[in-house]
Amino acid sequence: MTESATQPIRLVIIDDEPIVGKRLKQVFSKMGFDVEIFTNSLAAVQFMEKNPFDIVVTDFKMEELDGMDVLREAKRINPGARVIIITGYASPETAKEAFKNGVFDFMVKPFRLEELKEAVLRAAKAST
């Protein structure tokens, strides 16, 4: 995954559906990532305030903070972070705003797991 292999890439996954986070944690942990999952976006941002992270995969439509808010907060806390937004509620305006705010990738549900894995690997490569 990384050439140095000394420090695993830290991945934060935020989705209000617990099964999604649980499944993604299994997949990305097996790939060597250090994974934290959250169903509450506000709790995730509070975690990011106190703990280092490299990549965030966040759902867009959530209670508390939506994916755009998470994107802004993650970039404020760690400007070098790579943020991937996944959404079932995509519009061209939403995607445009996300890219304007520095999103690394914007994926529309349903997507194949392989597509998300590829996006996270690209983000990991870009963050090293």
Q: What is the pLDDT of residues 41-89, one digit of tens each?
A: 999 999 999 999 999 999 999 988 999 999 999 999 999 999 999 998 8
Q: What is the pLDDT of residue 91?
A: 87
CA atoms within 13 A on the CB side of 45: 17
CA atoms within 13 A on the CB side of 43: 11
Q: What is the pLDDT of residue 88?
A: 87
Number of other residues whose CB lies within 10 A of the CB of residue 30: 9
The domain defined by 10-126 folds into Rossmann fold (3.40.50)
CA atoms of 70 and 83, how far apart (whole Å): 9
29-51 pLDDT, tens per residue? 999 999 999 999 999 999 999 99
Residue 11: its H or E element: strand 10-14
- Global pTM? 0.92
Are the CB atoms for 81 and 54 separated by under 8 Å? yes
CA atoms of 14 and 40, how far apart (whole Å): 7
